[in-house]
Amino acid sequence: MIKYLIIAGSILTWACTPAHAQRVNTDELQCAALNIYHEARGEATAGQVAVALVVKNRVLDQRYPNTYCEVVREGPLTESWKTRQYKDLPDHQRVYYPKRHRCQFSWYCDGKSDKPTDVEAFKLAWTIAWQVMTDRFSDITDGSTHYHALHVDPHWNNHMKHTLTINNHKFYRQDR
């Protein structure tokens, strides 16, 4: 309960912070916000913050890519049949897509549209992403780099330390 109160207080504090106080790369912010939206929009604010913190923890961890977009989009790619057929086509003109159901974050390669349809939920995700990226929250996940929904039991969770459960997600970290 205290974690939820801290998060609510942080959001209220943010509302009083001048917009020019800290700038964030908008492409990175968009990637983080989309991940929050698609992974946790049905969760309470604390759950959305925790999902955002997992991405941030990966960005800060040398075992993962070092940008929000690279973390969110991490996974194997396959070349489009449209460019694969041209053997002499330069690499920079080739088109690649994420392999379906093989990404770190399932929404990114599920084959569905990534465009948000719930404007209010996306606004909240955008706000949370900005707050996490500008260090408005302490890490309530205790360094978590992974999470999963309660209804699944992935093989990797047996090799990690469970840090907390918020709403419909369990959070884990790798001990270094």
Has residue 5 been placed in a domain?
Answer: no
Domain count, the chain: 1
Mean pLDDT of 130-146: 96
Has residue 128 been placed in a domain?
Answer: yes
Has residue 142 been placed in a domain?
Answer: no
pLDDT band at 1 (very low <50, low <70, confident <90, very high): low
Has residue 15 been placed in a domain?
Answer: no
Distance separating alpha carbons of residues 102 and 147, to the nearest angstrom: 16
- Taking only the tens place, the pLDDT of each residue in 160-172 is 999 999 999 999 9
Mean pLDDT of 133-138: 96
Beta bridge partners of 170: 148, 165
Range of the domain at 46: 24-136
Mean pLDDT of 96-108: 76
Has residue 161 been placed in a domain?
Answer: no
Distance separating alpha carbons of residues 166 and 44, to the nearest angstrom: 9
Has residue 151 been placed in a domain?
Answer: no
Has residue 100 been placed in a domain?
Answer: yes
Element holding 46 (H helix, E strand): helix 45-60
Has residue 157 been placed in a domain?
Answer: no
